[in-house]
DNA sequence: ATATAAAGTTAGGTTTATCTAACAAATTTA
DNA sequence: TAAATTTGTTAGATAAACCTAACTTTATAT
């Protein structure tokens, strides 16, 4: 059985190589940064994960998940998102509170628990942030990738998911009147730095490029 | 914040000194045995817990919980039993399955989660094994201590709780027709070794002294 | 009261996950 | 293409939880 730390490395690799899929491989530094550890620490773990045949990795080369590693990673993501949904729907947690607790709950080992949880929630397909929940077979209904930054001026779109799950970002999102399924109209955008003016339910706000990149829309 | 290991030591101390309260102090060996570690390992932890002012302990002396240590221990016990109740009542776990998963869930840190869990279960007072669940203030409606072994021959009693929480014991209990609140009639008992003959719903069984000591009755 | 046994402690290791500092390889830039 | 920068690796430490083996203290039994 994998340790919590190993599970966190696989999850991070999954996010970096598959979910935010600009590329399907990552480097040591990027992985280390995502996990808030030093590259030397990540390097040690890479050797261990390689030895366990969970990643493809050669010295000085790029890193990717093997089929076995990907399977484990998806299981952790599934648990994380099911727990977030549970906390949100059954225990009145807000969407900026669920992530932190799910980070702990995702490491509970019990297949029966996860099956029952999934059933209890009526087999949800999305978590409170709009992210897809892998099903029991590990299948993911993959979701679009367009962000608010890519929406043309004058167009209206709908918020389908948020990229960042931190409480600070989510509270910021709420403060501009946004939430899942909200309609957003793009009023203007600065060429210079991507600063974007938007309108949500009649309320106008100006948000940064970084903000816009973290809002997925359809 | 305490580590999972520290929490487990405090919980074990609580069980040994307060719940199975033949005595209010324990020794290093007994504690080590309860935690399935070697005395040398327990000794290291005792120094740490003493330094954190969670236990009273002097070299070569007996061990007891401080007020602070007891408070932490009760919180872990509360979480453990609330989770067991949750799994049993909401997720169709059997009473011999809940303990193992609760051993993991008891270490999740989130006061909001526990408050909501308690509320969701409608503030239960007992877990699936009949053990008292401490309330949010840490108060415990203490329960009787009579075991099946102490019931006189010919008398009838009711199972109120089980001492051992292992799957093997609980399955054994079920196999003789027992469960919470079941009526038990004591037919006979051997002076020699405490072997006891009982009748449950018309079904007669012969159980060992060890078995009888692990059944609490009223 | 002493010898034996039991209980408890210490010393010295291991494994996992982390770090810093120094070094090596690969990539970018001039 | 050579220098500079970035990226990645290695060596050597540390802290938490564990272990075994040896030792010390306390309790028990003659
Ligand atoms: Mn999350
Ligand atoms: Mn995690
Ligand atoms: Mn239990
Ligand atoms: Mn535990």
Q: What is the mean pLDDT of residues B30-49?
A: 98
Q: Are B62 and B26 in contact (CB under 8 A)?
A: yes
Among residues B67, B60, B8, the alpha carbon closest in space to that of B29 is found at B60
> Is a pLDDT exceeding 70 seen at residue B144?
no
> Closest-CA residue in chain A for B103?
A108
Q: Where are the alpha helices (DSSP H) in A146-186?
A: 167-175
Torsion over CA of B181, B182, B187 and B191, rounded to 10 degrees?
-50
- Kindly report the CATH number that applies to the domain delimited by B4-65: 1.10.10.10
| Lookup: tokens for A197 | 């003016």
**How many beta-carbon pairs under 8 angstroms link A with B?**
41
> Is a pLDDT exceeding 80 seen at residue B169?
yes
- Which H helix or E strand runs over B201? none
Contact, B48 CB vs strand C, < 7 Å: no
What nucleotides of chain C have any atom within 7 angstroms of a protein Cβ?
A: 7-12, 16-22, 25-26
Q: Are A180 and A159 in contact (CB under 8 A)?
A: yes
* Domain definitions of chain A by residue range: 4-65, 148-217
Q: Mean pLDDT per segment of 10 residues, for chain A of length 218 residues?
A: 98 92 88 98 98 97 98 98 98 97 98 98 97 96 83 93 91 92 93 91 92 93
Contact A112 B93 (CB under 8 A): yes
What local confidence, expressed as pLDDT, does residue A22 receive?
73
- Out of A91, A108, A110, the one facing B120 most closely (by C-beta) is A91
- Counting residues of chain B whose pLDDT is more than 70, the rounded percentage is 99
The domain A148-217 is classified under which CATH number: 3.40.50.2300, 3.40.50.12780, 3.50.50.60, 2.30.30.90?
A: 2.30.30.90
Nucleotide whose C1' lies closest to the alpha carbon of residue B62:
C8
The CA B94 to ligand 4 mean position distance, Å, reads 19
Instruction: State the DSSP code for B26.
Output: B
Q: Which residues of A touch B113 (CB under 8 A)?
A: 87, 91, 101
What local confidence, expressed as pLDDT, does residue A144 receive?
65
Residue numbers 93-132 of A with CB closer than 7 A to any atom of strand C: none
The model's pLDDT over B84-100, given as tens digits with 9 standing for 90+, comes to 999 999 999 999 999 99
């Amino acid at each position: 059985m994998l340790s919590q730390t190993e599970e966190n490395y696989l999850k991070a690799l999954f996010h970096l190589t598959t979910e935010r899929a600009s590329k399907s491989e990552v480097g040591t530094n990027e992985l280390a940064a995502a996990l808030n550890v030093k590259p030397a620490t990540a390097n040690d773990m890479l050797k261990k994960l390689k030895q366990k045949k969970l990643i493809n990795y050669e010295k000085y080369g790029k890193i990717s998940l093997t089929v076995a590693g990907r399977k484990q990673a998806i299981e952790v993501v599934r648990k994380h998102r099911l727990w977030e949904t549970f906390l949100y729907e059954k225990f009145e947690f807000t969407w900026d509170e669920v992530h932190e607790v799910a980070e702990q709950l995702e490491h509970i080992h019990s297949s029966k628990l996860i099956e029952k949880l999934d059933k209890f929630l009526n087999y949800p397909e999305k978590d409170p942030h709009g992210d897809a929940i892998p099903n029991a077979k590990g299948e993911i209904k993959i979701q679009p990738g367009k962000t608010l930054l890519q929406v043309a001026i004058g167009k209206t779109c709908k918020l389908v998911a948020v990229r960042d799950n931190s409480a600070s970002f989510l509270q910021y999102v709420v403060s501009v009147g946004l939430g899942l399924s909200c309609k957003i109209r793009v009023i203007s955008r600065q060429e210079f730095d991507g600063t974007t003016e938007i309108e949500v339910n009649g309320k106008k706000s100006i948000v940064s490029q970084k903000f816009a990149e973290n809002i997925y829309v359809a």
